[in-house]
Amino acid sequence: MQFEVLRVVSTGFPLLILDQQEEWSQVEDFKYRKGWVANKLLAENSSVILKIAKGNLRSGPSLNDSIVKEINNGAIMQIEGEQGSWLKVINLDGITGWVHKWSVWP
């Protein structure tokens, strides 16, 4: 039996697990697209993706902290830490900053 490949995602791309059956997991991405992935290809999620049109990486966990870099929708970032409603992240360019939790998925 063969199935259609719906999408290929890179390592670190955040996915939400919705269901598991034997060696497969049903997953959803930040655009609510669903599909099935072999469990052996999944890892603990430590990344987020910017879900708003534009966002800012800030030097600290506050809107009063300076902007380190402007980021665009779909930017993937690894979580480095957390403080209240803020996440300390590092983007794919290696730039570290803080983003508010409401601006990212999941």
* Total domains, the chain: 2
Report if pTM > 0.85: no
Claim to verify: residue 33 and residue 53 sit in the same structural domain:
no
Residues 84 and 36 in one domain: no
- What pLDDT, on the 0 to 100 scale, is given for residue 10? 82
DSSP code per residue over the chain: ----------TT---EEEEEETTEEEEE-TT--EEEEEGGG-----EEEE-SSEEEEESSSSTTSPEEEEEETT-EEEEEEEETTEEEEEETTS-EEEEEGGGEE-
How confident is the model over 6-46, as pLDDT tens digits?
888 888 889 999 999 999 999 999 999 999 999 999 988 79
| CATH number (domain holding residue 69) | 2.30.30.40
The band of 3, judged by pLDDT with boundaries at 50, 70 and 90, is: confident
